[in-house]
Amino acid sequence: MKSEPGEFGIDDLERRPGQTEPWDGVRNYQARNMMRDQMQPGDRVFFYHSNCEQPGIVGLAEIARAAYPDPTAFDPEHKHYDPKSRPEQPAWLMVDVRFVRKLKRTLTLAELKERPELDGLALLRRGNRLSILPVSPEQWDFILALE
């Protein structure tokens, strides 16, 4: 899961009450479907810092709550308001994410790109801009071993 550290970084997650944060604001159908269909409580995710000096994987988090309606979509005052989403029929969902730990070092995007073992990694696909991306078990183990 990507986040801009200037907006909400791994340190912010660590400081949250319960070290848990609702992952609101996702407004992409592919990303929504991944939250809805692929994320269960206890599942682990990489926390990725994007749009910053050193883009890369900085920590581990886990899903604390399965997908449920994103209330920010209902609020006309909110930046992420979307009139297509109504409480009776929510278009947008979010999960709760809980801090697990920071990595001992940042696994930079540049470093991940150098690894032929990660050729198929969705994060490295050309033009990818999704804020939530799949990682296979093999990719997961390989990346963690780089730490």
Partner DNA sequence: GCCAACGTTGGC
By the criterion CB under 7 A, which residues form the site for DNA? 2, 4, 28-30, 50-52, 55, 109-110, 113, 125-131
Nearer to DNA, 110 or 140 (CB): 110
- Distance of closest approach, residue 144 Cβ to DNA, in angstroms: 19
For residue 88, with 0-12 CB atoms within 10 Å meaning exposed, 13-18 middle and 19 or more buried, which class applies?
exposed
Instruction: Output 64 or 112, the one with its CB closest to DNA.
Output: 112
Please report how close the Cβ of residue 56 comes to DNA at its closest, in angstroms: 8
Q: Judged by CB, which is closer to DNA: 48, or 99?
A: 48
Nearer to DNA, 42 or 116 (CB): 116
Q: Are 87 and 75 in contact (CB under 8 A)?
A: no
Question: Least distance in Å: CB of 139 to DNA?
Answer: 17
Edge-to-edge strand list for the sheet holding 2-3: 2-3, 44-49, 56-69, 93-108, 20-22
Q: Which of 112, 100, 97 is nearest to 50 (CA)?
A: 112
Q: Whose CA is closest to 143, among 99, 108, 98, 97?
A: 108
CB of 143 to DNA, least distance (A): 15
